[in-house]
């Protein structure tokens, strides 16, 4: 598709439950990035992929967060045993490796609320 | 570690004013800089992207400049309109540690702009 798609739009989980978010990058884009936006404007980089390979995972909390990008499937971000502080909007972005300006295109985000 | 700062945090202006939003970054080893707009409860809309080798980019009433050596960028909005009300975010794209150019974006905290009729 021509836009980054993210599902679901909203997700509510009780503390300790699992949360799984999905991202379909723009067709033909090789790079996928996940960001977490907390407290209105504070963006934090989580992880990036080059096709199905992890490219940069320096922002990922190691213990409860995991992510995958498998061939012919949407990318996913999974949080095991959610905590209250995981409440945030999670954005996915994709980038085309052949485009000179390497612009990142963002999806609409998934709002996760942990109660 | 790259840090991005945006000033002011909030700005309220009457319709028709020209205004300037400021962005500064601590590490000049960037690949490019993007300005985004975010409406409440919505995603990010890319406004302008400036490559590290460029000095400015223009799109309609928007003009963004980049001074990489001093670690600064400005977004100039001409003849502001109520529809310009939103949060404006500046983000710099790092050079990946391996030397390629697909690095993560580091965001500023944003400037909340309100343009009143």
Buried residues in B62-91 as b, exposed as e (16+ CB within 10 A): bbbbbebeebbbbbebeebeeebbbbbbbb
8 A C-beta contact, residue B37 and residue B44:
yes
Question: What's residue A83's pLDDT?
Answer: 96
Residue of B nearest to A95 (CA): B102
Residue B47 in tokens = 């406004």
Lowest mean pLDDT among A47-56, A96-105, B48-57, B69-78: A96-105
Contacts of B102 in chain A (CB under 8 A): 31, 48, 50, 55, 95, 97, 102
Percentages of chain A per state (helix, strand, coil), in multiples of 5: 5, 50, 45
Q: Does B97 score more than 90 pLDDT? A: no
Task: Tell me which residue of B91, B100, B67 sits closest to B2, measured CA to CA.
Answer: B91
* B57 in contact with A, Cβ within 8 Å: no
| CA distances to A38, B14, B70 from B91, in Å | 16, 27, 16
Using the beta-carbon criterion (under 8 Å), do A102 and B44 form an inter-chain contact? no
* B106 in contact with A, Cβ within 8 Å: yes
Using the beta-carbon criterion (under 8 Å), do B32 and A95 form an inter-chain contact? no
Confidence of residue B5 (pLDDT cuts 50, 70, 90): very high
* B54 in contact with A, Cβ within 8 Å: no
Distance from CA of A41 to the nearest CA of B (A): 5
Question: Which of A41, A107, A109 lies closest to B87 in CB terms?
Answer: A41
Query: Across the A/B interface, how many CB contacts are shorter than 8 Å?
Result: 62
Q: Is A96 helix (H, G, I), strand (E, B) or coil?
A: coil
Question: Which of A41, A95, A108 lies closest to B89 in CB terms?
Answer: A41
8 A C-beta contact, residue B44 and residue B36:
yes
User: Is the model more confident about B93 or about A101?
Assistant: B93
Residue A36 in tokens = 């977490």
- Interval A17-34: pLDDT, tens: 999 999 999 998 999 999
Q: Count of alpha carbons within 13 Å of A102, Cβ hemisphere only?
A: 21
Lowest mean pLDDT among A43-52, A75-84, A101-110, B1-10: A101-110
Question: What's residue A100's pLDDT?
Answer: 56
Q: Does B101 score more than 70 pLDDT? A: no
Using the beta-carbon criterion (under 8 Å), do A103 and B46 form an inter-chain contact? yes
Chain A positions touching chain B (beta carbons under 8 Å): 31, 33, 35, 40-43, 45, 48, 50, 55-56, 58-59, 91, 93, 95, 97, 101-109
Q: Does A111 score more than 60 pLDDT? A: yes
Choose, out of B104, B105, B107, B111, the residue to mutate when testing the contact with A (most A CBs < 10 Å).
B104
């Amino acid at each position: 598709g021509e836009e980054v798609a993210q599902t679901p739009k909203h997700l509510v989980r009780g503390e300790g439950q699992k949360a799984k978010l999905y991202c379909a990058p723009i067709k033909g884009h090789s790079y996928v990035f996940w960001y977490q936006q907390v407290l209105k404007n504070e963006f934090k980089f989580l992880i990036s992929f080059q096709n199905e390979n992890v490219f940069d995972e320096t922002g990922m909390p190691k213990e409860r967060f995991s992510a995958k990008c498998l061939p012919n499937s949407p990318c996913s971000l999974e949080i095991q045993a959610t905590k209250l502080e995981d409440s945030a909007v999670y954005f996915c972005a994709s980038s085309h490796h052949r485009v000179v300006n390497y612009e990142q295109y963002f999806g609409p985000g998934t709002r996760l609320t942990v109660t | 570690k790259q840090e991005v700062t945006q000033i002011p945090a909030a700005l309220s202006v009457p319709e028709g004013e020209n205004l300037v939003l400021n962005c500064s970054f601590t590490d000049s080893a960037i690949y490019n800089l993007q300005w985004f707009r975010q409406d409440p409860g919505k995603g990010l809309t890319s406004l302008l992207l400036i490559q590290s080798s460029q000095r400015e980019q223009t799109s309609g009433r928007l003009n963004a400049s980049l001074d990489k050596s001093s670690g600064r960028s400005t977004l100039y909005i001409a003849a502001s309109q109520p529809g310009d009300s939103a949060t404006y975010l500046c983000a710099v794209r790092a050079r990946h540690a391996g030397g390629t150019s697909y690095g993560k974006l580091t965001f500023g905290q944003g400037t909340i702009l309100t343009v009143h009729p």
